[in-house]
């Protein structure tokens, strides 16, 4: 066992923040070998229960749960910051040519190494990411995540139509490959597999039906895709599936809405769609920097909450403009404030933080496992320095409440504030 003394941020079961200005976090090996939180709370209380534990002191620092990124594309690391006329031209001009390179295992391994370095530099300790349509892309990312001991989920992209040579796969083989990869990687150490149709327009009915059958056969495997990101895309889906009630309904028809199914964007949904998300247990990955960058629209956080629809935050790199959870939370705040296409609201800083940690874990179907520092959770955490930059130091010194402190990090923070990342690796 080992203990860490600093300020400490956790969340209760209702998503409310718990804060100890002088906190103590005790971690020790769990049954599978990963370190877990043994005890946490104020230094006075916890040190009394664990008088003999060795303590590392981090005065003036904030310990917080490692961030969870609910949706991004590791092969698009080299696409970040590419200018284009919206989503569909951006895919054709930049994304598909880059993704085609992941047929080469050496290229995939090199990008995977860089990608995980970057995630960890930014304090992201769990991610649900797309790979590409190539098996090598999944093997490279899984192997690298396993080497680092991360809790990490990815899957081979399914796209057997409306896709250029180099990324288009073949229907039957793609489903066989998915099954092979599930057996190869799912549940190994902290790794999970996600059945990954890119989005409805790039898969045939046969491929989507096959994906749904795999999702039914492997109930604890994840599903990830995109839905209702922008209006051109929604129109295209309406032309392809005139019989479906909505874009989301296409996925429902193929058995792809269930718990552990995470859909990026979910912007252009109606009340019936949101009710369907809620009743199925599927979750939305709100990707605000990407949505602002590509001009896609504004995720309606209030409507999602009112509908009881699970949701959390995501970077959506390379459509997203940053790996930084702080940048994502700030963009989510901006999107929440937008009041022309929906009612505007000010999301509380602690709620934004929850959406990127404990709330994201709930959306992912991993409550009690990651995203929080309550006893029993895997001990992935970040140590934040409120004095990382002159302006952050000046502003946080004047913070009168937890909400003010967290908001200063959200508005002014970046990877410089992430002083260290501690993983649950013994
Ligand atoms: Zn995406």
- What is the predicted pLDDT for the residue at 83? 86
CA distance 263 to 363: 10
Distance from the alpha carbon of residue 318 to the mean position of ligand 1, in angstroms: 8
Beta-strand runs (E) in 74-167:
124-130, 151-155, 157-158
Distance from the alpha carbon of residue 226 to the mean position of ligand 1, in angstroms: 6
The answer to whether residues 401 and 363 touch, using CB atoms and an 8 Å cutoff, is: no
**Helix or strand or coil: residue 3?**
strand
Distance from the alpha carbon of residue 131 to the mean position of ligand 1, in angstroms: 11
Distance from the alpha carbon of residue 63 to the mean position of ligand 1, in angstroms: 30
Distance from the alpha carbon of residue 269 to the mean position of ligand 1, in angstroms: 17
Share of the chain above pLDDT 70, in %: 100
Distance from the alpha carbon of residue 415 to the mean position of ligand 1, in angstroms: 22
pLDDT band at 110 (very low <50, low <70, confident <90, very high): very high
Distance from the alpha carbon of residue 99 to the mean position of ligand 1, in angstroms: 13
Cis peptide preceding 318, ω within 30 of 0: yes
CA distance 235 to 247: 9
CA distance 308 to 353: 19
Host H or E run for residue 272: helix 271-280
Distance from the alpha carbon of residue 292 to the mean position of ligand 1, in angstroms: 13
pLDDT band at 47 (very low <50, low <70, confident <90, very high): very high
Is pLDDT of 140 > 90?
A: yes
Distance from the alpha carbon of residue 72 to the mean position of ligand 1, in angstroms: 6
- Residue 115: which of 133, 127, 105 has the closest Cα? 127
Distance from the alpha carbon of residue 79 to the mean position of ligand 1, in angstroms: 12
Distance from the alpha carbon of residue 285 to the mean position of ligand 1, in angstroms: 9
Listed in sequence order, the residues at least 6 apart from 122 whose beta carbon sits closer than 8 Å to its beta carbon are: 67, 323, 324, 325, 415, 418
Q: CA dihedral defined by 354, 357, 359, 362, rounded to 10 degrees?
A: -170
Distance from the alpha carbon of residue 71 to the mean position of ligand 1, in angstroms: 6
pLDDT band at 131 (very low <50, low <70, confident <90, very high): very high
Is pLDDT of 86 > 90?
A: no
Distance from the alpha carbon of residue 198 to the mean position of ligand 1, in angstroms: 8
Distance from the alpha carbon of residue 264 to the mean position of ligand 1, in angstroms: 6
**Helix or strand or coil: residue 8?**
strand
Distance from the alpha carbon of residue 384 to the mean position of ligand 1, in angstroms: 28
Distance from the alpha carbon of residue 307 to the mean position of ligand 1, in angstroms: 23
pLDDT band at 109 (very low <50, low <70, confident <90, very high): very high
Distance from the alpha carbon of residue 77 to the mean position of ligand 1, in angstroms: 12
- What is the predicted pLDDT for the residue at 136? 97
Tell me, what DSSP letter sits at residue 156? P
Distance from the alpha carbon of residue 133 to the mean position of ligand 1, in angstroms: 14
Is pLDDT of 90 > 90?
A: no
- What is the predicted pLDDT for the residue at 1? 95
Distance from the alpha carbon of residue 314 to the mean position of ligand 1, in angstroms: 9
The answer to whether residues 37 and 373 touch, using CB atoms and an 8 Å cutoff, is: yes
Distance from the alpha carbon of residue 230 to the mean position of ligand 1, in angstroms: 12
pLDDT tens digits, one per residue of 226-282: 999 999 999 999 999 999 999 999 999 999 999 999 999 999 999 999 999 999 999
Distance from the alpha carbon of residue 377 to the mean position of ligand 1, in angstroms: 28
CA distance 269 to 33: 42
Distance from the alpha carbon of residue 386 to the mean position of ligand 1, in angstroms: 31
- What is the predicted pLDDT for the residue at 91? 87
Distance from the alpha carbon of residue 232 to the mean position of ligand 1, in angstroms: 16
- What is the predicted pLDDT for the residue at 84? 80
Tell me, what DSSP letter sits at residue 321? S
β-bridge partners, 303: none
- What is the predicted pLDDT for the residue at 89? 87
pLDDT band at 216 (very low <50, low <70, confident <90, very high): very high
Integer CA distances (angstroms), 416 to 123, 148, 221, in order = 10, 22, 35
- Residue 71: which of 301, 365, 364, 370 has the closest Cα? 364
pLDDT tens digits, one per residue of 351-365: 999 999 999 999 999
CA distance 343 to 297: 14
- pTM for the full predicted model: 0.98
**Helix or strand or coil: residue 194?**
strand
- What is the predicted pLDDT for the residue at 199? 97
Distance from the alpha carbon of residue 28 to the mean position of ligand 1, in angstroms: 36
Distance from the alpha carbon of residue 317 to the mean position of ligand 1, in angstroms: 7
Is pLDDT of 124 > 90?
A: yes
pLDDT tens digits, one per residue of 157-194: 999 999 999 999 999 999 999 999 999 999 999 999 99
pLDDT band at 100 (very low <50, low <70, confident <90, very high): very high
The answer to whether residues 159 and 202 touch, using CB atoms and an 8 Å cutoff, is: yes
Q: Which residues are placed with Cβ below 5 angstroms of ligand 1, an ion?
A: 264, 316
- What is the predicted pLDDT for the residue at 85? 82
Distance from the alpha carbon of residue 313 to the mean position of ligand 1, in angstroms: 12
Distance from the alpha carbon of residue 266 to the mean position of ligand 1, in angstroms: 11
């Amino acid at each position: 066992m080992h203990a860490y003394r600093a300020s400490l941020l956790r969340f209760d079961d209702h998503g409310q923040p718990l804060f100890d200005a002088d906190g103590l976090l005790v971690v020790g090996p769990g049954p599978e070998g990963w370190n877990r939180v043994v005890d946490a709370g104020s230094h006075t209380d916890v040190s009394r229960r664990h008088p003999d534990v060795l303590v590392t002191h981090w005065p003036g620092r904030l310990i917080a749960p490692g961030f969870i990124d609910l949706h991004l594309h590791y092969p698009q690391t080299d696409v970040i910051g590419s200018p284009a006329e919206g989503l569909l031209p951006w895919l054709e001009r930049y994304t598909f040519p880059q993704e085609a390179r992941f047929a080469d295992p050496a290229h995939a391994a090199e990008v995977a190494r860089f990608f995980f370095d970057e995630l960890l530099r930014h304090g992201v300790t769990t991610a649900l990411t797309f790979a590409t349509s190539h098996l090598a892309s999944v093997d490279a990312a899984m192997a690298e995540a396993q080497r680092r001991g991360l809790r990490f989920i990815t899957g081979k992209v399914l796209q057997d139509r409306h896709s250029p040579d180099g990324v288009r796969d073949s229907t039957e083989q793609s489903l066989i490959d998915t099954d092979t990869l599930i057996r190869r990687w799912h549940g190994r150490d902290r790794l999970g597999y996600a059945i990954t149709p890119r989005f409805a327009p790039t898969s045939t009915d046969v491929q989507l039906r096959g994906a749904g059958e795999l999702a039914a056969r492997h109930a604890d495997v994840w599903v990830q895709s995109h839905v209702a990101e922008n209006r051109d895309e929604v129109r295209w889906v309406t032309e392809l599936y005139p019989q479906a009630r909505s874009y989301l309904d296409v996925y429902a028809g193929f058995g792809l809405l269930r718990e552990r199914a995470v859909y990026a964007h979910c912007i252009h949904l109606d009340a019936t769609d949101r009710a369907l998300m809620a009743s199925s247990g599927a979750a939305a990955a709100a990707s605000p920097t990407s949505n602002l960058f590509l001009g896609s629209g504004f995720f309606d956080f209030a409507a999602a909450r009112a509908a009881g629809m699970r949701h959390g935050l995501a970077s959506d790199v390379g459509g997203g403009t940053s790996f930084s959870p702080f940048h994502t939370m700030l963009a989510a705040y901006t999107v929440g404030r937008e009041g022309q296409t929906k009612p505007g609201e000010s999301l509380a800083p602690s709620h934004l933080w929850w959406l990127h940690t404990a709330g994201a874990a709930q959306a992912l179907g991993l409550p009690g496992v990651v995203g929080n520092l309550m006893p029993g959770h895997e001990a992935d955490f970040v140590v934040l320095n409120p004095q990382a930059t002159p302006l952050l130091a000046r502003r946080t010194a004047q913070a009168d409440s937890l909400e003010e402190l967290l908001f200063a990090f959200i508005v002014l923070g970046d990877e410089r504030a992430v002083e260290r990342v501690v993983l649950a690796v013994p």
